Chain A
Amino acid sequence: KQEVTQIPAALSVPEGENLVLNCSFTDSAIYNLQWFRQDPGKGLTSLLLIQSSQREQTSGRLNASLDKSSGRSTLYIAASQPGDSATYLCAVFNFGNEKLTFGTGTRLTIIP
């Protein structure tokens, strides 16, 4: 059974700093990995999708990397802003079925 863990569970950083969120998964037979953000009480917004054959993806200030063999992904946020405050979730799409399994989430607070 796929298990996805995110460390740290919560993170507070001053505005303007760069930061890294971590995601690890136990079963490397994945089709892709997706990063989402979730604002309190809201749905999930897709940030980045990395196919299993890719090493990284970039969108604006966000850069996500994937090391499938070691079961790890990172989300790098450059020049953080208060609007980046949210919960960030990674999710893996398991090969062979249609299951998207979520990580435990990191609650990020950017301090103005």
Chain B
Amino acid sequence: DTEVTQTPKHLVMGMTNKKSLKCEQHMGHRAMYWYKQKAKKPPELMFVYSYEKLSINESVPSRFSPECPNSSLLNLHLHALQPEDSALYLCASSPISGQGRNTEAFFGQGTRLTVV
């Protein structure tokens, strides 16, 4: 099973709402990622979790709050977003890099977020 599952597929939220995006994988991967993708642009890295600990935060505004409750789950909590935060949010997972380890990354289908 090489599937990364993201829910919901679509989300419309107001600027005062609080919502969460969820991501799940059962491949035993210990690195999980959140990316943001605007239309006609490549994905941009937001956060990386390694062994359930936040290892990279690409200077993302605090209105985005990641959480990794266990090795299979990754959440992105959203609060007080702006219309410019509307984008496709992609979750990915991969084995932890290391000598001789395959680090192929697998992506979910994304959550299309619209902030109104």
A interface residues, how many (CB within 8 angstroms): 25
In the bound complex, do residue B92 and residue A100 qualify as a contact, i.e. CB atoms below 8 Å apart? Answer: yes
Residue pair A98, B43 in contact (C-beta under 8 Å):
no
Query: Dominant SS at the B interface?
Result: strand
A93 & B103 in contact (Cβ 8 Å cutoff): yes
A42 to B112, CA, bound (A): 9
Q: Does B64 lie at the interface of the complex (its beta carbon under 8 Å from any beta carbon of A)?
A: no
Of chain A, the residue at the smallest CB distance from B49 is: A98
Known: A98-B50, A100-B33. A49 touches B55 (CB 8 A): no
B102 to chain A, nearest CB (A): 7
Identity of the chain A residue whose Cβ is nearest the Cβ of B6 in the assembled complex: A43
Q: How many A-B residue pairs have CB under 8 A?
A: 65
**Separation of A75 and B28 alpha carbons in the complex (Å):** 29
Number of interface residues of B (CB under 8 A): 28
CA of A44 to CA of B103, assembled, Å: 16
The answer, yes or no, to whether B21 is at the interface (CB within 8 Å) is: no
Q: Return chain A residues, CB-CB under 8 Å to B55.
A: 97-98
Please name all residues of chain B whose beta carbon is closer than 8 Å to the beta carbon of A89 when the two chains form the complex: 42-43
User: Does A41 lie at the interface of the complex (its beta carbon under 8 Å from any beta carbon of B)?
Assistant: yes
**Residues of chain A lying within 8 A (CB to CB) of residue B56:** 97-99
The reply to whether the CB of B105 lies closer than 8 angstroms to some CB of chain A is yes
CB nearest neighbor in A for B44: A102
With A32-B103, A41-B112 in contact, is A101–B97 under 8 Å at CB? no
B33 pairs with A104, CB closer than 8 A: no
B96→A98 contact, CB < 8 A: yes
Pick from B31, B43, B88, B105: contact of A34, CB under 8 Å: B105
**A-to-B contact residues, CB < 8 Å:** 31-32, 34, 36, 41-46, 49, 51, 89, 91, 93, 95, 97-105
Some 24 contacts from A to B, beta carbons below 8 A apart, are: A34-B105, A36-B107, A41-B88, A42-B109, A43-B109, A43-B110, A46-B104, A46-B106, A49-B102, A89-B42, A93-B94, A93-B103, A95-B97, A98-B48, A98-B55, A98-B56, A99-B45, A100-B92, A100-B105, A102-B43, A102-B44, A103-B42, A104-B42, A105-B42
